[in-house]
């Protein structure tokens, strides 16, 4: 069976409108602007309004990606919607997205791989295209994490922001153009409780008792997640290059999940790469989970840091504990 290669032909982002700077948190938890900056690199982040949700920023990103790729929505075969903060537990968010976009010929499903979500979804889309069954796929990574933050918990509330990113992926019929070259997926399920919302699923339904115990909010064991990330990210970046003709010196830019500048600095040091090789925008948006890699990719392109023909690595890591890495020619 002939296997097809795929490529990204359009990128879009949806940014929540409310700008929340570090001073906001000084009034509600024991922290300071300097403390947050020094430990995370975050200066501000965006929150959706009270009457907005994940689907709102997702649609902004999707429409921009569709426009930037000159795609007719009726040509979209499949939509993959990566999120940890779906509007509803049931039904999946992808149905709302398909209906709002008018992509009536597209199948679709939600994908929950935490902060690795967009990269997981890109790799999944690549596999669907490889078989020849689909030619054009819309991938969305979107979050409204502010809706699930405990603003009494300094370890989480200062870190996260809301936003979305989307890409159009198409069959690459140009044999001289590489597109998606290689990927690596991973999971360490022993750390599933390191980033978790306990209440709201079938194991612990939301009740008044659970709400009184703050079990419906996002919780995180930051030190454990940090240890996981600084260990696994250098490994997966090296692994994705193993069976290719490329080495780290050939890579033009690495777009990592925007979780913490200290994680990115540690990875750069371990790989013996200059910090300029890693694109970061966490200072503006905080950790937007499944949206972060795509937002960074779009801004890297807009800033001229990533150009057509560049060799780029996308790497996500987080909730699950998942990780996903993709090597591609832009």
Burial, 304: exposed, middle or buried (Cβ in 10 Å; 0-12, 13-18, 19+)?
A: exposed
Q: What region does 211 belong to: left with phi over 0, alpha with psi -120 to 50, or beta? A: alpha
pLDDT of 180 reads 94
Distance separating alpha carbons of residues 316 and 295, to the nearest angstrom: 12
Question: Can you spell out the DSSP letters for 116-143?
Answer: GHHHHHHHHHHHHHHTTS-SEEEEEEEE
Task: Give the active site residues.
Answer: 115, 257, 287
Give per-residue burial for 197-216: e unless 16+ CB within 10 Å, then b: bbbeeeeeeeeeeeeeeebb
Domains assigned to the chain: 5-172 (3.40.47.10), 180-329 (3.40.47.10)
Report the DSSP beta bridge partners of residue 328: 180, 312
Contact 169, 295 (CB under 8 A): no
| Cα separation, 263 vs 270, whole angstroms | 11
Residue 183 has a CB neighbour count (10 Å cut-off) of 21
pTM, entire model: 0.95
Residues present in the chain in total = 330
Q: Which residues contact 316 (CB under 8 A, 6 or more apart)?
A: 113, 115, 116, 117, 118, 119, 120, 256, 257, 290, 292, 293, 322, 323, 324, 325
One digit per residue, pLDDT tens: the chain, 330 residues?
A: 778 889 999 999 999 999 999 999 999 999 999 999 999 999 999 999 999 999 999 999 999 999 999 999 999 999 999 999 999 999 999 999 999 999 999 999 999 999 999 999 999 999 999 999 999 999 999 999 999 999 999 999 999 999 999 999 999 887 667 899 999 999 999 999 999 999 999 999 999 999 999 899 999 999 999 999 999 999 999 999 999 999 999 999 999 999 999 999 999 999 999 999 999 999 999 999 999 999 999 999 999 999 999 999 999 999 999 999 999 999
């Amino acid at each position: 069976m002939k296997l097809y290669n795929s490529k990204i032909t359009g990128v879009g982002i949806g940014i929540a409108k409310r700008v929340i700077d570090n001073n906001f948190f000084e009034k509600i938890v024991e922290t300071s602007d300097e403390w947050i900056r020094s430990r995370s690199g975050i200066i501000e982040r965006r929150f959706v309004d009270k009457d907005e949700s994940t689907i709102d920023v997702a649609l902004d990103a999707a429409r921009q990606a569709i426009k930037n790729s000159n795609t007719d929505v009726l040509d979209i075969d499949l939509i993959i919607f990566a999120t940890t903060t779906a509007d509803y537990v049931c039904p999946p968010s992808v149905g709302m997205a398909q209906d709002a976009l008018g992509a009536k010929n597209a199948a679709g499903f939600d994908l929950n791989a935490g902060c690795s979500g967009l990269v997981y979804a890109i790799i999944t889309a690549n596999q669907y295209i490889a078989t020849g069954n689909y030619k054009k796929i819309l991938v969305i990574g979107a979050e409204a994490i502010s809706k699930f933050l405990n603003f009494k918990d300094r370890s989480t509330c200062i870190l996260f922001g809301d936003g979305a990113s989307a890409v159009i992926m198409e069959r690459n019929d140009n044999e001289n153009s590489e597109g998606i070259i290689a990927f690596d997926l991973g999971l360490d399920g022993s750390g599933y409780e390191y980033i978790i919302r306990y209440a709201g699923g079938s194991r612990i339904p939301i009740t008044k008792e659970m709400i009184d115990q703050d079990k419906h909010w996002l919780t995180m064991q930051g030190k454990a997640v940090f240890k996981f990330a600084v260990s696994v990210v250098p490994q997966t970046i090296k692994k994705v290059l193993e069976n290719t003709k490329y080495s780290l010196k050939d890579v033009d830019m690495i777009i990592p999940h925007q979780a913490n500048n200290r994680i990115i600095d540690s990875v750069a040091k371990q790989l013996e790469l200059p910090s300029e090789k890693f694109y970061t925008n966490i200072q503006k948006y905080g950790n937007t989970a499944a949206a972060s890699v795509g937002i960074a990719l779009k801004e890297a392109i807009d800033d001229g840091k990533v150009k057509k023909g560049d060799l780029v690595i996308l790497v996500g890591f987080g909730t699950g504990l998942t990780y996903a890495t993709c090597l591609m020619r832009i």
